[in-house]
Amino acid sequence: MSRMNSAAIESRTPALPAEWRDFIALTKPRVMVLVVFTGICGLLAAPVAPPPALAFTAILCITVGAGAAGTLNQWYEADIDALMKRTAQRPLPAGRMDRDSALQFGIMLAVLSVVVMELATNWLAATILAASILFYVVIYTMWLKRRTPQNIVIGGAAGAFPPLIGWVAATGTVDPLPLLLFALIFMWTPPHFWALSLFVRSDYAKAGVPMLPVVAGVRATRRQILVYSVLMAAVAVAPWPLGLAGAIYGLTAAVLSAVFILLALATLANKATEPAGMKPEKRLFAFSVLYLFAVFAALVVDKWLIG
Amino acid sequence: MIVIDPHTEEVRRRQRARARVMGIALAAFVVLIFFVTIAKMKLYGSL
């Protein structure tokens, strides 16, 4: 059979519709866990407790909104995802789904999450949710990611919104504590992502993404990790002396931030340039996830035990 | 004897699975809106 005939047959054969699991994969469920957790903590730390059905709906909307942002990110980045080992098996680069389906799914989730948030809670929470989705998709994914090594610094704001949204969904107002929680995640994001990008730097270089280790080098990235870790520690502890949180939160944040800085120092002391020798970076990356969970959990425990 | 094309069979299987998930999601959405409505009515003193 000639090549033309086989191509013609192939074009007549309808492509398989995507599996429903692939739609779930588009939403980046693993990333969502941290987003949802910080959103729940923001809501639980608020001085007002909304009715359980409305609180549940607010968290669901944050979850679906994060899923929408992840989906639209994968829709836009299918070309570079195909070039990186870590992302090549996602539904779009692996050819298990067409881009239009991903785009429609992402827009539907975004609209649904914002509209239901407004119906269940208030317009301010819905507006911040819409802004966070737009920020992640337009400012980070479409504008910054392929243009500047500071992409993650500014883009990190998108992931910092959930505790603020959770708080605003409960209270209807923006207060100093959720703003500090926003700042905490904003400062946490660069060391978290740069630790990861140090040991997957060849992937980013291959895809042409100007992550800091690719553009400025390994040494400069390790210095920046330490600078942001110190800033993050200051923001993390701040609610305690400001009287916005109690000693349980303050001491937990202080101890964990000290460990974070020690791990950042160990990263700075590391001379390895190949992933095999980057144990301190891998340790910092793993600890950074645990750190955020623990600090936010401490805030909720502090609020519920001390009030 | 009826021969079923394995490709067509796989398409049908995926369509059925997606329809089932969509049905469950829609039912959950209706239940969610019901509870949101009840909670809001209680909140504003209509119940």
DSSP A225-237: HHHHHHHHHHHHH
Q: What pLDDT, on the 0 to 100 scale, is given for residue A128?
A: 97
In total, chain B counts a number of residues equal to 47
Q: Is the pTM of this model over 0.80?
A: yes
Percent of chain A with pLDDT over 90: 77
Tell me if B11 and A119 make a contact (CB, 8 A cut-off): no
What is the predicted ipTM? 0.83
Q: Which two tokens stand for residue A67?
A: 């899923």
Give B25 to chain A, closest Cα distance, Å.
Answer: 12
pLDDT, tens digit, 9 for 90 and up, residues A111-167: 999 999 999 999 999 999 999 999 999 999 999 988 888 888 888 888 999 999 999
- The amino acid sitting at A42 is G
Please tell me if residue B43 touches chain A, with a CB cutoff of 8 Å: yes
Measured CA to CA, the distance from residue A125 to residue A109 in angstroms comes to 16
Percent of chain A with pLDDT over 70: 95
- The answer to which of A76-80, A160-164, A218-222, B1-5 has the lowest mean pLDDT is B1-5
Nearest C-alpha in B relative to A49: B43
> Does residue A3 register a pLDDT over 80?
no
Chain A residues whose CB is inside 8 A of the B17 CB are 19-20
pLDDT, tens digit, 9 for 90 and up, residues A168-206: 999 999 999 999 999 999 999 999 999 999 988 888 888
Residue with tokens 């866990």: A33
* From A14, A16, A53, residue closest to B35, measured CB to CB: A53
Give B3 to chain A, closest Cα distance, Å.
Answer: 18
Q: What pLDDT, on the 0 to 100 scale, is given for residue B2?
A: 63
**Measured CA distances, B26 to A25, A98, A101, B20, B33 (Å):** 20, 23, 18, 10, 11
What parts of chain B have a pLDDT lower than 50? none
Tell me if A57 and B42 make a contact (CB, 8 A cut-off): no
Report the mean per-residue pLDDT for chain A.
91
Better-scored residue on pLDDT, A195 or A15:
A195
Mutate to test the interface with A, among B32, B36, B37 (most CBs of A within 10 A): B36
Burial code (b: 16+ CB inside 10 Å, e: under 16) for A240-277 equals beeebbbebbbebbeebbeebbebbbebbebeeeeeee
Helices (H), B1-47: 6-43
Q: What pLDDT, on the 0 to 100 scale, is given for residue B1?
A: 61
Chain A residues whose CB is inside 8 A of the B11 CB are 14, 16-17
Tell me if B21 and A60 make a contact (CB, 8 A cut-off): no
Chain B residues whose CB is inside 8 A of the A18 CB are 14
Measured CA to CA, the distance from residue A261 to residue A229 in angstroms comes to 6
* pLDDT band, very low/low/confident/very high, at A57 (cuts 50, 70, 90): very high
* pLDDT band, very low/low/confident/very high, at A306 (cuts 50, 70, 90): confident
Beta carbons of A263 and A4 less than 8 angstroms apart:
no
Q: What is the mean pLDDT of residues A70-75?
A: 96
Greatest CA separation for chain A: 78
> Does residue A38 register a pLDDT over 50?
yes
Q: What is the mean pLDDT of residues A61-65?
A: 97
pLDDT, tens digit, 9 for 90 and up, residues B9-21: 888 999 999 999 9
Please tell me if residue B44 touches chain A, with a CB cutoff of 8 Å: no
